[in-house]
């Protein structure tokens, strides 16, 4: 392992430790359970990541179809099992909960590269198969319902086509078809999902309902000022005004307590981590391995951007965790395993 690779490890550890400190504040009244579980998940993720890193990207790519089929079966299984409340998102194995949508987020890029890397995409019809497999997984995730998890599959397939340098005129019919489907998809959303989109445009439409979380999130971010209110002193998080402050809305908790300067440091750490990942991916001699790492890079980057943007009102709320910050074992493990593959040059 090259010493320069250790820099990426440092970035990941620093972000995770800051995240643990922020998670403690975000869940102050019941912190012990979340902190302990998140720490255990991180240690387990490092163990799994080490094993995956030892296998290497080339061997992983040979298992692309197997990964996809297993992930697809898990998505079907989770829909068959009894719902928790009104959702089908987790499969329980004893005290462990697995979120199949997170597994597919890892499996789909592997599948795309392993099966379609050598495809030329010289005609519009050649796009059908990769898009079909992506839509199949996305529809199953949307049925849970999990709009954020469903949408997170598309950055992978879009980045895949871009890295393949497909001609725009060949992809244009599919781009037009996608735009035509947007209003159709909107009318098939759940009522609460439509409310999130409408309140994104105007939070005052439902200030005590769908718009409440967004308004409280903006208050938390704005009240942080330049230097913040200090650790454990943020009113929105400590007084429980901000819902989901330990999962999708951990960023506003951090922004309120550490202010603009703290946010700049955090974003700088994320940027350095992503830059290092890009540097490693660009040096891969094997083209397929390099493409896979770039797809993982895009997936993690988009998730960071979307989470932060939705909490400040720039994007609609879609329910995506912030990597290494939000509480959640499945997302943490998948992210660590993705990054672990950057440490093996074969």
Q: What is the pLDDT of residues 162-181, one digit of tens each?
A: 999 998 888 888 889 888 88
pLDDT value at residue 186 = 80
Three-state secondary structure along 224-279? CCCCCCCCCCCHHHHCCCCCCCCCCCHHHHHHHHHHHHHHHHHHHHHHHHHHHHHH
Say how many domains are in the chain. 1
pLDDT of residue 135: 94
**Alpha-carbon gap, residue 167 to 169, rounded angstroms:** 6
- The predicted pLDDT at position 209 comes to 66
- Kindly report the pTM of this predicted structure: 0.92
Distance between CA atoms of 162 and 71, rounded to whole angstroms?
25
At 30 the pLDDT is 64
Paired residues of 263 in beta bridges: none
Residues of the chain predicted below pLDDT 50: 1-5
Instruction: Determine the pLDDT at residue 3.
Output: 44
CB burial readout 69-92, b (16+ within 10 A) else e = eebbebbeebeeeeeeeeebbbbe
Name the residue among 196, 302, 189 with its Cα closest to residue 244.
196
Cis peptide before 145 (omega within 30 of 0): yes
Backbone angles phi, psi at 233, to 5 degrees: -120, 10
Structural domain boundaries enclosing 189: 3-343
Smallest CA-to-CA distance from 66 within 120, 121, 103 is with: 103
Which of 197, 192, 238, 236 lies closest to 218, judged by CA? 236
In angstroms, rounded to a whole number, what is the distance separating the alpha carbons of residues 19 and 4? Answer: 24
């Amino acid at each position: 392992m090259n010493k320069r690779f250790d820099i990426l490890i440092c970035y990941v550890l620093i972000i995770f430790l800051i995240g643990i400190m922020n998670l403690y504040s975000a869940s102050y009244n019941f912190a012990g359970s979340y902190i302990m579980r998140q720490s255990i998940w991180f240690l387990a993720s490092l163990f799994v990541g080490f094993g995956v890193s030892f296998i290497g990207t080339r061997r992983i790519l040979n298992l692309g179809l197997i990964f996809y089929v297993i992930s697809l079966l898990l998505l079907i299984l989770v829909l068959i099992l009894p719902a928790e409340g009104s959702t089908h998102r987790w499969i329980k194995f004893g005290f462990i909960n697995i979120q199949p949508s997170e597994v597919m987020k890892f499996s789909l890029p592997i599948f795309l590269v392993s099966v379609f890397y050598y495809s030329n995409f010289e005609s519009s019809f050649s796009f059908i198969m990769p898009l079909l497999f992506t839509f199949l997984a996305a529809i199953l995730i949307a049925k849970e319902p999990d709009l954020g998890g469903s949408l997170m599959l598309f950055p992978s397939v879009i980045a895949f086509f871009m890295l393949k340098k497909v001609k725009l005129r060949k992809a244009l019919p599919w781009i037009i078809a996608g735009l035509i489907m947007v209003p159709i998809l909107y009318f098939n959303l759940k009522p609460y999902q439509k409310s999130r989109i409408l309140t994104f445009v105007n939070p005052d439409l439902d200030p005590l309902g769908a718009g409440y979380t967004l308004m409280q999130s903006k208050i938390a971010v704005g009240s942080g000022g330049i230097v913040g209110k200090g650790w454990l002193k943020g009113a929105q998080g400590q007084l429980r005004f901000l819902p989901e402050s330990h999962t999708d809305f951990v960023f506003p908790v951090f922004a309120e307590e550490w202010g603009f300067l703290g946010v700049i440091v955090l974003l700088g750490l994320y940027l350095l981590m992503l830059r290092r990942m890009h540097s490693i991916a660009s040096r891969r001699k094997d083209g397929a391995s390099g493409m896979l790492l770039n797809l993982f890079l895009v997936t993690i980057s988009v998730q960071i951007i979307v989470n932060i943007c939705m909490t400040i009102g720039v994007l609609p709320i879609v329910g995506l965790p912030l990597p290494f910050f939000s509480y959640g074992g499945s997302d943490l493990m998948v992210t660590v395993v993705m990054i672990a593959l950057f440490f093996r040059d074969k």
